[in-house]
Structure 1
């Protein structure tokens, strides 16, 4: 088994992503922290998103080989510890605007199975020896981004050509989405509250014919050109995994960064940031 991993800071002040590498537990994952709407800074000026991802990373990496609890129990405990840290820091837990949050995709590898836990838009995909691709998880955030992204594209179509002006149009829509965390109409996320436990997904797959596993934060999602009139017979997540499998995780990230650099106003590849944090773990068997 070979494990490759990257975590690259985007255009933000901090890298709010983290990668989990716990060889003792055969536990690997990616975490995408998100900063609260109400500004908060840690002792070293860290954002809430940075603090959340680092706390969760430390929790999973300190687990010893003797800890046999399942990933559901461990992820719930990690979420609880996130809440405790926010309380100590004076965060009002009844105000979602103040919460530090994080998406996560994490796996434990056993002899015959892959156990996983996931929340938000961090994704897990599998490659099999016959070349087929299987998306294990669901992006639980994409549907709430559809309206802001449609508004962004409408702005482009109307002649707007700067990211700043486009961002101004969609910002109110993005802010309202925070109220939807861990609700039936919203999205799943670790946020330190017990409600998160209702929406975290868990499961396991067997290792029959399994050739590779890819875990990514949304900053590594395959870019979608717009407008795109070409026929897309292959889904974007399949294109992502196949490109990583053929070129390697690092080379894929460099290619993506180059595309983003050439499109600084986010027009050709509509997105809300020039470059988001990018973290991934690519495991081959």
Structure 2
């Protein structure tokens, strides 16, 4: 088995992504923190999104065999969410205000001899590749419909002649604020936020390893940029052949080069010039 990992800061101040590698447990994951809309800074000026992904990372990487005996990945995600809740409480965050919460998406797998366990929250994605070349999305992008609503506002702004990324951001901010109210609800999306409602919204399960060749885990910063937005959620399947051809690091470098040529985010509607990018490519399983 070979493993290639990458995590790279985008154009924001902090890399709010986190790479999760616990080799002793064959436990691997990617987390994507999101900064709250109510400004918060930690002791070292860390954003809430950075703190959220690191709380999840530290907990999952600290686990030992005796900690997970008879425990599934869903339970581990629930515990990570509780630890996030406790850290926010200690920092004085108002847990009843969704716009103040530190949040993180997560894709997590554990490799066993005959099967793979997985758990997923938000828009971090998992793909499986089989010996015949079939690419299967193991997870579902649960944020795609929310992002689509916001990106439509962005795209409409471009069509109406707005040329500056900062002006486009001001246009879309009310929509993003409204979307925050839908966190961990049936008409919204799932995310680690310390909210107890997440417990019933975690997606998790098991796939067998018959003919399984590779696994790819990515944060949404690795999604292919699109010139025209759509509510489609097939981004992870599109990435696999490019990673196979370029390597994971090569693909990340290629993405940054494309984004650097579109600094106003007009050709490829998106909220940042470059989002943080984190991935794990596991091959020759």
Same topology, TM > 0.5: yes
Is 1:50 the equivalent of 2:23?
A: no
Equivalent position of 1:102 in the other structure: 104
Structure 2 CA distance for aligned equivalents of residues 157 and 262 of structure 1: 19
- Alpha-carbon distance between aligned partners in 1 of 2:97 and 2:247, rounded to the nearest angstrom: 42
**Partner residue of 1:243?**
242
Matches within 5 A, 1:1-285: 1-66=1-66, 67-68=68-69, 69-226=71-228, 235-284=234-283, 285=285
Cα distance, 1:124–1:227 mapped onto 2, change above 3 Å? closer
TM-score by length of 2: 0.95
Give the stretch that moved more between structures: 33-42 or 114-123.
33-42
Q: State the Cα deviation string for residues 44-84 of structure 1 (Å, max 9, x = none).
A: 11111111111110000010123322111111111111101
Deviation at 1:276? Answer: 0.4
**1:38 positional shift:** 1.3
CA distance in 1, matches of 2:270, 2:229: 13
Secondary structure of the corresponding residue to residue 181 of structure 2: helix
Give CA deviations for 1:70-123 in whole Å, capped at 9, x if unaligned: 111111111111101111111111111211110000000000110001000000
What's the offset of the Cα at 1:194?
1.1
Question: 1: distance between equivalents of 2:194 and 2:170?
Answer: 30
CA-to-aligned-CA distance 1:148-187 (integer Å, 9 cap, x gap):
2112112222222221121121111111111100001000
Deviation (angstroms), 1:226:
3.4
Q: How far apart, CA to CA, are the structure 2 residues paired with 1:238 and 1:126?
A: 9
SS at match of 2:32: strand
Question: Secondary structure of 1:107's match?
Answer: strand
**How far apart are the structure 2 equivalents of 1:90 and 1:191?**
15
Shift in Å, 1:191: 0.7
Shift of 1:236: 3.6
Q: In structure 2, what is the Cα distance between the partners aligned to 1:226 and 1:39?
A: 31
Mapped partners of 1:168, 1:191: distance in 2: 25
User: 1:191 is paired with a residue of what secondary structure?
Assistant: coil
Could you tell me how far 1:198 is from its partner in structure 2? 1.2
Report the equivalent of 1:232: none
Cα shift at 1:227: 8.3
Normalising by structure 1, what TM-score? 0.95
Contact 2:123–2:141, Cα closer than 8 Å, also in 1: yes
After alignment, is 34-43 or 16-25 more displaced? 34-43
Question: What stretches of structure 2 of length at least 5 have no aligned partner?
Answer: none
Relative distance call for 1:249 and 1:44 in structure 2 (3 A) is same
DSSP 3-state at the match of 1:180? coil
Query: Stretches of 4+ moved more than 6 A in 1?
Result: none
Change (3 A) 1:78 1:236: closer
Q: Which runs of 5+ in 1 are unaligned?
A: 229-234
Kindly provide the CA deviation profile for residues 207-260 of structure 1, in whole angstroms up to 9, marking residues without a partner as x.
0101100000000001212389xxxxxx54322111111211000000000000
Structure 1 CA distance for aligned equivalents of residues 216 and 2 of structure 2: 12
